[in-house]
Amino acid sequence: MNTSIIQARPDYAAIAAWIPEGSAVLDLGCGDGSLLRYLRETRKVVGYGVEISDANVATCIANGVNVIQNDLESGLADFENDAFDFVILSQTLQATKHTEALVNEILRVGREGIVSFPNFGFWKNRLQVLKGNMPISDDMPYQWYDTPNVHLCTFSDFENLCHTHSVQILERQVMTAGRRVIAFANLLGSMAVYRVKRAA
Amino acid sequence: MSSSVGIVKAQRATFDTPLTFKSGAVLPRYELMYETYGTLNADKSNAILICHALSGHHHVAGYYADDTKNIGWWDNMVGPGKPIDTLKFFVIGLNNLGGCHGSTGPSSIDPATGKPYGSSFPVVTVEDWVNAQARLADQLGIQRFAAIVGGSLGGMQAMQWALAYPDRVAHVLAIATAPHLTAQNIAFNDVARSAILTDPEFHGGDFYQHGVVPTRGLRLARMLGHITYLSDDAMADKFGRELRHGKLNFSYDIEFQIESYLRYQGDKFAAYFDANTYLLMTKALDYFDPARDLNGDLDRAFSAAKAKFLVVSFTTDWRFSPARSHEIVHALLHNRLDVSYAEVTSDHGHDSFLMEDAQYMTVMKNYLDRVGEECKQ
């Protein structure tokens, strides 16, 4: 099961590599709970997910994953400062409405944040825009009219946001089709996972 | 949905060891009515206890051979193939102490006097109930429950189990409940109690000897309760401003359909429920507050718990609102206990926990299926 999950979601392995065993983890927009399940199996985390959809909540429960049904954009207020070692936002950032406020909330509730998102600046996306169309890719498999993604950005856009909000980037792993990208990340990387914390 | 557990039989357990109540009162001897469904497995690991709410009792599922229309109060939840699956679990329903369905309560005869306990029956708390339930479990040979399930006041008992007997419960399913009542909630209870206490036929709780019943008070108490268990929308949907006779009569008789419904519910309830039991149940609700002796620190109150939790609330439940469930969830989170929380969209207010809602049933079933798998290991 783990192998197929890693193939489907290459960001999972990167996330797991950063999380020490037994950490307390909050996964915002946890979907069907597959990341939390993977982290529980591989890193023995004490994990909780936040999820709004009825169907996903029911699936998480069937998977034995702790899930709290709430809107992650309004529901974090109840969480105390530093309640978790890690707060994860996996492929969800670009679909949030109050993205700026959420980044701050993540680092209030978690000692560190882990954020992954697709790169709008990936060369294939740029090419599609140059041709005159909104990009569609494995990481952004939607038409412009049915996409949940309202705040797409490039790696450098996100890094600028971090800079203006005193968010320190501890690590970054850039990937394309499951492979690590080292150079010209903002052009050659289709998605990235960031490990961030509040700047001291 | 699925089939029923079929014909069931109520049983009576007798306890001769005195029970000391939280108030200090002592009951030397008492009886509890209970029913069981399903089969206890060899290692006695598949037992589920159902804790009832204000007006509930031991008849949770199925029906009686001599009264086939008397279907258990949670028959949609408990049965073969249902979320609390009697093919997998050994399910126990009981009538709590102070009840009026056969367990020792105010209307029972006090052997010391030969008269009903009436006003002398001790004020009972959720803690007392759970202690009595633990003794029933002892008698049935159940050391540890696979799950304890309850809605509303029943949810408080389920939580109390995790606090008082952390090693005796694997999973707690706390539904439409709260870590303590709000002032508004206590206020509703007090109005209900006042209706009973001021009924001239109440006689300080000893009405049995007078051959009367404080029906008017009990009826008002139930009518008030009913209003608070429904949502504004559900009431509007069901009754609106519909008139019973199609026109205004300029009288104080029943005119609006909602009046007819409430009075009917009040009369029905007052005909079988005991006024003293109603007082005790509302008092137990008011008193429950595991954080009271800890400066209101609910996190600390839950620090003894070891169980895994499923917490469920309903969007239109304003008597035990989702916000109250959030308090429970956060106290559990802060103790790093396993907890899942479902906020079910429903129109039926507090009563939703007794209704058959697809999402609610799925959540319960998915959770309990995992509980069932643990029992097999």
What sign has the CA pseudo-torsion B315, B320, B326, B332? negative
DSSP per residue, chain A: -HHHHHHH-HHHHHHHHHSPTT-EEEEET-TTSHHHHHHHHHH--EEEEEE--HHHHHHHHHTT--EEES-TTTGGGGSPTT-EEEEEEES-GGG-SSHHHHHHHHHHHEEEEEEEEEBTTSHHHHHHHHHTS----SSS---TTT---SS-B-HHHHHHHHHHTTEEEEEEEEEETTEEE-SSHHHH-SEEEEEEEE--
Determine which of A71-75, B26-30, B96-100 has the lowest per-residue pLDDT on average: A71-75
What b-and-e string marks burial along B166-189, b requiring 16 or more CB atoms within 10 Å of the CB?
Answer: eebbbbbbbbbbbbbbeeebbebb
| B333 near A CB under 8 A | yes
> Between chains, do B341 and A83 touch, taking CB under 8 Å as contact?
no
- In degrees to the nearest 10, what's the CA dihedral of B307, B310, B314, B319? 0
Indicate the DSSP class of residue B145.
B
Q: Does B369 touch chain A (CB under 8 A)?
A: yes
B310: which chain A residues are within 8 Å (Cβ-Cβ)? 61
Q: Are B20 and B78 in contact (CB under 8 A)?
A: no
Eight-class DSSP state of B143: S
Q: How sure is the predictor about B1, in pLDDT bands with cuts at 50, 70 and 90?
A: very low
Q: What is the pLDDT of residues B2-14, one digit of tens each?
A: 589 999 999 999 9
Smallest Cβ–Cβ distance between B366 and the set A61, A69, A78 belongs to A61
B152 in catalytic set: yes
Q: What mean pLDDT do residues B360-377 have?
A: 94
CB pairs under 8 A between A and B: 52
Distance CA(B44)–CA(A147), nearest Å, equals 51
pLDDT 10s digits, A27-55: 999 999 999 999 999 999 999 999 999 99
Q: Which of B375, B370, B226 is nearest to B309 (CA)?
A: B370
Model confidence at A6, pLDDT cuts 50, 70, 90, reads: low
Q: What is the ipTM of this complex?
A: 0.94
Compute the nearest-CA separation of B248 from chain A (Å).
45
Report the C-alpha gap between B178 and B48 in whole angstroms: 21
How far is B187 from chain A, CA to nearest CA, in Å?
27
Q: Is B361 on the interface with A (CB under 8 A)?
A: no
